[in-house]
Structure 1
């Protein structure tokens, strides 16, 4: 139950912030009710301003793979801030971050740091258009690649959660250059390229869809898209803003063994601070200024605080990976999914789910969930009921059915068991109201 202080804080925020929030899904429109306001976080727990403690599976929408306020990351930020927060000239931290990414991600030879995932994806698209001399791009229906004009055509994430149409303010001429196909449908991709392949600069793809809930690629799908783009001379861009360093140390491309031409990053590489990056083959990245003619710049790109936090996170992940940390993350996610499905099934409710690395999805649907159409067919009202029941039990999931859940390295057996026990209490209450 959201407390009075959060309710008052939301009313105050709505007087001066659009919708009372700075990112739409935070307004809880997809689940109803009033958002809780965060006070602090500690490990796998978030505390709101009313003093409630939640086991947090939002993890700031993915960046906090080491949980809230990890002491090593906080220390790195504080020590770096004491020397200055921004300089406008290069720092060695930027180089060190790029070295880590190049070492860990199989397809990346050079990197450009930016300040957000949206900035990374829009920059990668500009680079792809310059490299190919073509203007059209392909995205999958329901995948979200940030809020740049080209990506707000049949987008997922908050756009879908709020039931918004393709966004006003996007010129028709821009929308026409964004072509869409269903996720996981290699035949549709093949047909589109057969019709318009000579116009297509790139396919941008979430290798694991994270913005229609967590939806896994079908066997052979990523390989098929890679082959199609290569055959038609188009670039393949993997949007690993969510999956990068979260589904495995080398991202989804290392896990599935499919290498894109360009990759975008965010979230984990900033450990909770604003950050983004894009990278790829040397010949492509050489087109970016100052080496080449494709202009992109940013005052806070490679910000030292973000670099210090992200570097600390990545180096900790490298050590943890040798000890089976990613397998443990995935096992916890699978346990939550299995408990969710079993409990719902016993109560006569349809349920399915997915888990991979440190991300998972829970769906009130009999399944399978393979694309945006099947994800939209989930019972979102039922999920809203589940969300609030779990919140009352002290467990915070994403405030929208069409979003992923996130596990951190500091979630443990105690948190998983408490969450499963909470599900076993909450879901029967929901089912009883449905009878």
Structure 2
């Protein structure tokens, strides 16, 4: 684009890259840090912060700056807890960016092949200009990938001037693991079962919280989910931060005591896998009951 600035959303994490380690969600939020030490001021001077689900906050930046190259976003946020786009937010964002000649970059490292074989973009009816992928596509091995419209990919060396290389690029073991995983996902197509299992767990959390009069909101997108110990809706990072992290800590440790291991942060997404059985769900339900009881005694 020939422009320097990029917009990201508060609470979204896009890897350990200096220019994007601003208001970056889960890890920093868990430790109550605004940013990471060691990131020089110059590295973030071209990074602008907007509010997720708030198109006006994006428009304001465009009104104030004429050198914005694009917007990077998690289609479904997973690093401020799971936060879902409201009121066709992504579609409206893409349409607006097109009027400005700016690119939409979708970070589907979490959602790619997880919520549907075509990722969150397929489910939400939006197509980004550039898509980043990881996690699932490696079948458990470290891997990252990106793709874009043809004219953008033509800019990547050796066809264009954007140099990209790495010691482990195209690593044979990671590629073999990824191909096998994607082949099985396409063959089994477990997404309906993922959704069914996740809905069951969502109801267990909500029903048990109600039983013990614990304020709880559950955000879920397919097999990604997150409980927030708060009363109101959670649609952005500021609202996610209203969650009672002390209650989450009690809940987390009680779940551990009862043999259920969760991500150790209020702001980390939960992921379900095809390996979870009905027997596992029963065990989780028992653990949730004990954990919610402990939370209710705070």
Same fold per TM (> 0.5)? yes
1:401 aligns with 2:266: yes
2:175 to 304, 307, 310: 307
Show the counterpart of 2:39. 170
Question: Aligned-pair distance for 1:381?
Answer: 0.6
Residue 8 of structure 1 corresponds to which residue in structure 2?
none
- Selected match of 1:227 from 95, 101, 116: 95
Q: Distance in 1 between matches of 2:91 and 2:63?
A: 18
1:330 and 1:355 in contact (8 A); partners too: no
Q: Describe the superposition over 1:193-248 as per-residue Cα deviations: whole angstroms up to 9, x where unpaired.
A: 2222x211110000000000111111210011101111101110000000000011
TM-score norm. by structure 1 comes to 0.67
Give 1:340's aligned residue. 205
**Number of residues of Structure 1 aligned to a counterpart in Structure 2:** 298
Determine if contact 1:244/1:251 at 8 Å carries over to the other structure: yes
Alignment deviations for residues 316-372 of structure 1 (CA, whole Å, 9 cap, x no partner): 001122xxx212111211221221122112212110112222211111111201000
Higher normalized contact order (CA 8 Å, seq sep 6+, divided by chain length): 1
Q: Which has the larger radius of gyration?
A: 1
CA deviations on 1:116-167 (whole Å, 9 max, x unpaired) are xxxxxxxxxxxxxxxx000000000010001111111111121111112222
In 2, the alpha carbon distance for the partners of 1:390 and 1:273 equals 28
Deviations 1:162-196 (A, max 9, x none): 11222232222221200001111112112222222
Q: Residues 30-429 of structure 1: matches in 2 within 5 Å?
A: 132-196=1-65, 198-321=66-189, 325-429=190-294
Counterpart CA distance in 2 for 1:383 and 1:341 is: 14
Does the aligned pair in 1 maintain the 2:250–2:294 contact within 8 Å?
no
Q: CA RMSD in A?
A: 1.1
Q: Which runs of 5+ in 2 are unaligned?
A: none
| Distance in 2 of aligned mates of 1:429 and 1:261 | 47
Equivalence for 1:128: none
TM-score relative to the length of structure 2: 0.97
| Offset at residue 305 of structure 1 (A) | 0.4
In 2, distance between residues paired with 1:363 and 1:420?
17
Deviation, structure 1 residue 301: 0.5
d(CA) in 1 for partners of 2:207, 2:239: 20
SS of the residue 1:355 aligns to: strand
Q: Give distance in 2, aligned partners of 1:186 and 1:328.
A: 34
Aligned residue for 2:164, secondary structure, equals: coil
SS of structure 1 residue aligned to 2:230: coil
Partner Cα separation in structure 2 for residue 337 and residue 192 of structure 1 = 37
User: Are the equivalent residues in 2 in contact too, given 1:269–1:311 (CA < 8 A)?
Assistant: yes
Deviations 1:380-424 (A, max 9, x none): 010000000001111011100000001001112111122112211
Please say if residues 334 and 354 of structure 1, whose CA atoms lie closer than 8 Å, have aligned partners that are also in contact.
no
List 4+ stretches of structure 1 deviating above 4 A. none
